[in-house]
Amino acid sequence: MDLEVFRALMTDEGRRLLACLQAGGPAGEAAAAQALRGGHPAALVSAAREQVRLRRRAAAKYGEYAARLYFTPDSVELSSHLTVSEYKLDRVLHELGVVLIDAMCLGSGADALVLGWSHHTDAVDADPLTVEIAKANRPGMHEPMLYPRCEDVREFDSQGEAVFIDLMRPAGPDRPDRTSDPEAYDPPLSWALDRVRTTGYGWVRLAPGIADRVPPGTLAGADEVEWISHEGRIQEAVVWFGLDARRAPAQLPVRRATVLPSGASLLGRRDLPAPDVRPFGRYVYVPDPAVVHARLVGELARHIGGGLLEAGGCLLTSDELHRTPFATAYEVRNVLPLDGARVPQGEG
C-alpha cells in the first residue's frame, strides 16, 4: 500500500468501504467486494479489502483494538503481542522514571502508541506512510500523547529524557542479509546503541535472533538484554539502558528471559558452570524460547535440579517434577531405542 492509497482509505468513501467489508465477515467478503466495485474505484475497494484482512490477522496481537487500527503487512508481521508493549511500559514507569520520550523508527507503531498512554512521546520515522498510519491510529488507541513526524532520525534534534529505537524493520529488499546483519538496519544497530547510550536512558527493540549476533563489546553501558516471549512464542529482544540507578554498574549487560503473560523473569548469573549432560530422567523439560534465545538453559537446569538431555539439544531432564514458568515438563513413560529403519522417510 502506498501513501496515496492510504490517504484515500482515510476519506469518507474509504471509511464506508472499510465498514461495509468489515461488517460482512470473512464469508461474505468476496461477494461484498465484487458488489462495491460497481460504484467505487477498484483500487480503493482492493485496498479496503486488504486492510480488513490485515485487521483480522492483527486481532491475535492487538485484540479488540485491531478492528479500529490501520496496518501494513510488515507492521502486522513485525508487531509483538500488545501485552509485550504494556509490559515494557510498566518497566519504563517503574525503572526508568522519565517523562519525555523520543521514539525513533516507529516499526509497527504499537510501542510508541502504548508509551503515549502515560508519556509525552515525540516520534520520528523517515517513511511517510509509517508516520501517517501512526497518526491515524491515535484515535483507535485512546488518543495517546504521541506526536509523529516524518524526519531522518539521524538528523532529529532529540530533547527527550529517554530514547526508544525500534530496529525490527530491515533497511530494504536489496539486502539479502538484512535479517541477520545488525548493521543492515537503517539506522544501523551501532548508531542506535550509541544514541541511547549518549542520552543515558532508553532501549532498543530488536529481532530475537539479531540480539544473539551482537558482539558483547558493542553493548557497553547497557544494563540488560531481555528476550521476551508470549504464550510460548518468542516475540523480541530489548537492550535496556538506564534501569534502576541503585543497581551496581556491570561490564556486560545482564541477560534476562521474560515469559508473558505470567511476567516471570530468569536472569543470568556470572560464571555459572555448564549443566551436566545426562540420560533420560523421569521428566523431560522443553525450555521456553525466551530462555533458549537468552542462553539461559544452564540457569534453568539449576532451577529444576536437572541437566541437559544427552543428544537432546536444549532439552533438559530431571528425576523430579518442578513446576516452572520457564519450561514445559513431560513425564517419560518409556524410552525406545532409535531404529533408523523404522523412521518414516520424507518424499523430498
* Residue 238 structural domain: 78-267
Is the pLDDT score of 204 beyond 70? yes
- What is 269-310 written as a DSSP string? -TTPPPPPEE---SEEEEE-HHHHHTT-HHHHHHHHT-EEET
* Distance in angstroms (rounded) separating the CA atoms of residues 298 and 320: 17
Band (211; pLDDT cuts 50, 70, 90): confident
Is the pLDDT score of 269 beyond 90? no
Q: Is residue 67 part of a domain?
A: no
Is the pLDDT score of 318 beyond 80? yes
Percent of the chain with pLDDT over 90: 74
User: Which of these three, 267, 290, 310, is where a domain ends?
Assistant: 267
Backbone angles phi, psi at 134, to 5 degrees: -60, -40
Is the pLDDT score of 275 beyond 70? yes
Answer yes or no: do 251 and 296 share one domain.
no
Answer yes or no: do 109 and 179 share one domain.
yes
Answer yes or no: do 251 and 135 share one domain.
yes
Q: What is the pLDDT of residue 186?
A: 85
CATH number at residue 229: 3.40.50.150
Q: What is the pLDDT of residue 172?
A: 56
Angle between helices 29-36 and 12-24 (to 10 degrees): 150
Summarize pLDDT for 43-72 with one digit per residue, the tens: 999 999 999 999 999 999 999 999 999 999
Answer yes or no: do 35 and 168 share one domain.
no
Which residues is 308 bridged to in the sheet? 277, 316
Q: Is residue 53 part of a domain?
A: yes
Is the pLDDT score of 26 beyond 70? yes
> If you average pLDDT over every residue of the chain, what do you get?
90
Is the pLDDT score of 173 beyond 90? no
User: Which of these three, 216, 245, 267, is where a domain ends?
Assistant: 267
Helix ranges restricted to H, the chain: 3-9, 12-24, 29-36, 42-62, 73-78, 82-91, 110-115, 128-137, 189-199, 208-212, 289-293, 297-304
Give the number of domains in the chain. 3
Mean pLDDT of 288-311: 94
Summarize pLDDT for 86-120 with one digit per residue, the tens: 999 999 999 998 999 999 999 889 999 999 999 99
State whether the Cα torsion 297-298-302-307 is positive or negative: positive
Which residues is 309 bridged to in the sheet? 278
Q: What is the grid cell recorded at 323?
A: 513446576
Q: Are 269 and 230 in contact, with CB atoms under 8 Å apart? A: no
Strand 202-206 to 120-125 pairing? unpaired
Answer yes or no: do 94 and 205 share one domain.
yes
Q: Are 133 and 73 in contact, with CB atoms under 8 Å apart? A: no
Mean pLDDT of 3-20: 95
* Distance in angstroms (rounded) separating the CA atoms of residues 37 and 20: 12
Answer yes or no: do 313 and 169 share one domain.
no
Q: Is the pTM of this model over 0.75?
A: yes
Is the pLDDT score of 338 beyond 90? no
Angle between helices 12-24 and 42-62 (to 10 degrees): 60
Answer yes or no: do 10 and 102 share one domain.
no
Q: Is residue 32 part of a domain?
A: yes
* Distance in angstroms (rounded) separating the CA atoms of residues 187 and 101: 18
Distance of CA 187 to the CA centre of its chain: 18
| DSSP assigned state of 318 | E
Summarize pLDDT for 224-252 with one digit per residue, the tens: 999 999 999 999 999 999 997 656 666 78
In three-state secondary structure terms, 206 is strand
Q: What is the pLDDT of residue 214?
A: 85
Is the pLDDT score of 183 beyond 70? yes
Higher-confidence position of 140 and 274 = 140
Answer yes or no: do 43 and 165 share one domain.
no
Percent of the chain with pLDDT over 70: 92
* Distance in angstroms (rounded) separating the CA atoms of residues 255 and 125: 29
Q: What is the pLDDT of residue 66?
A: 97
Band (343; pLDDT cuts 50, 70, 90): very low
Answer yes or no: do 125 and 258 share one domain.
yes
Answer yes or no: do 135 and 213 share one domain.
yes
Mean pLDDT of 123-148: 96
Contacts of 145 (CB under 8 A, 6+ apart): 116, 117, 119, 120, 121
Mean pLDDT of 315-326: 95
Closest CA to 197 of 154, 244, 240: 240
In three-state secondary structure terms, 29 is helix
Which residues is 202 bridged to in the sheet? 163, 241
Answer yes or no: do 253 and 291 share one domain.
no
